[in-house]
Amino acid sequence: MLEPGNQTVRLRKLRKSETVRRLVKETRLDPSCLVAPIFVTHGNKVVEPVSAMPGVNRYSVDQLGSYVSRLSETGISAVLLFGIPDTKDDLGSQAYAGDGVVPRAISEIKSAVPSMLVVADVCLCEYTSHGHCGIVRNGQVDNDETLPLLSRAAVEYARAGADIVAPSAMMDFQVAAVRSALEEARLDETLIMGYSAKFASSFYGPFREAAGSTPSFGDRRGYQLGTGNTREAMREIEKDAEEGVDIVMVKPALSYLDVIAEARSRFDLPVAAYSVSGEYSMIKAAGANGWLDEKRAAMEVLTSIKRAGADIIITYFAEQAAQWLSE
């Protein structure tokens, strides 16, 4: 029988003091891996709180310069833009209008903080009257009719100065379509971040309130992945890689950490994870009620996403987390 005193490996030594704990820390977060999503709305002088996402606002273009400068001061170096147009139609035409909210937001941000990396979400759901991510024919989203519109949007955003375009409609061939449209427009330096493994999730609820993009009929299960399907998610990533994607994404993050880990081990592409609106609101609500410690819960979740293998984390906690990291 081994007496406790005969044991030589005392694992607790590694947790002895803050200095030792810091020295042996395996997973490190730093602001350079965080991307802050921004909702850009039409109008002027608008800073409008999103009620389901305390601390998150919709900004009109004129307000972005000061907001992005503030983000940059905290150490955030990348933002992801979503547009909320003043008019919606069946074809989502404001998504690819040259003077739409997103192209204007991109130029505004680039002139305020030139070094800020701008990622533009490429989808139709915020711009269509029916709220689906593509063109609807006979009650179904038509894949191939949607592709040219996504491509036009991507080209408009790249032309306005976006560094990265991020097709998120979950249409087949969307990366290939965007890639060739960019090449044709001689915008070959623009990166593509594919929302490759995007699951049909209840955690998008608060975002749909923020962006006014709830489908008016049906749901997105005809194009987004089913929760239990990891292998199918890997096929989506593989397909995007073949089509020339630069960065792949898994979304949501918290309920899909195993999918992030699997993507990390199978592919050599940079992996982004999108910690979505519901993941944020859940922690904010519990924190506001005093049920858990908001800061510790948020940092624990972000660390777990990093530990699972994400290189890049898109999170509504970005600004706060950057501040917490510098404390």
In 85-189, DSSP assigns E strands to 117-122, 135-137, 140-142, 164-167
**Site membership for ligand PBG, residue 136 (CB under 6 A):** no
Quick check: 276 binds ligand PBG (CB under 6 A)?
Answer: yes
User: Measured between alpha carbons, how far is residue 128 from residues 58, 94, 157, 243 in Å?
Assistant: 19, 9, 18, 26
Residue 10 or 82 with smaller CB distance to ligand PBG: 82
- In the complex, what is the shortest distance from the CB of residue 19 to ligand PBG, in angstroms, rounded to a whole number? 37
Whether 122 and 166 have beta carbons less than 8 Å apart is answered as yes
CB of 107 to ligand PBG, least distance (A): 22
One DSSP character per residue, 219-277 reads: -STTTSBPTT-HHHHHHHHHHHHHTT-SEEEEESSGGGHHHHHHHHHH--S-EEEEE-H
Under 8 Å between Cβ of 252 and 203: yes
State yes or no: residue 38 binds ligand PBG (CB under 6 A): no
> CA 57 to CA 193: how far, in whole Å?
24
Q: Does 146 bind ligand PBG (CB under 6 A)?
A: no
Catalytic annotation, pick one of 251, 284, 295, 306? 251
Out of 64, 123, 241, 322, which residue is the one contacting ligand PBG (CB under 6 A)?
A: 123
Q: How far is the CB of 304 from ligand PBG (least distance, A)?
A: 18
CB 124 within 8 A of CB 92: yes
> Could you tell me the CA-to-CA distances from 213 to 84, 91, 123, 209 in Å, in that order?
9, 14, 11, 7
Of 133, 149, 178, 321, the one binding ligand PBG by CB under 6 A: 133
Catalytic, 239? Answer no
Verify whether residue 251 is a known catalytic residue: yes
Interface with ligand PBG (CB under 6 A), residue total: 12
Q: Is 171 in the site for ligand PBG (CB under 6 A)?
A: no
Active-site option among 13, 45, 110, 198 = 198
Indicate the residue among 220 and 306 with the shorter CB distance to ligand PBG: 220
Task: Quickly count: other Cβ atoms within 10 Å of residue 203's Cβ.
Answer: 22
41 binds ligand PBG (CB under 6 A): no
Q: CA geometry: angle at 214 spanning 210 and 217, to 5°?
A: 170
Which member of 39, 96, 157, 207 binds ligand PBG (CB under 6 A)? Answer: 207
Question: Is residue 208 part of the contact set for ligand PBG (CB under 6 A)?
Answer: yes
Residues 217-236 that bind ligand PBG (CB under 6 A): 220
Q: Which residues are catalytic?
A: 198, 251
- Residues found near ligand PBG in the complex (CB under 6 A): 121, 123, 125, 133, 168, 204, 207-208, 213, 220, 276-277
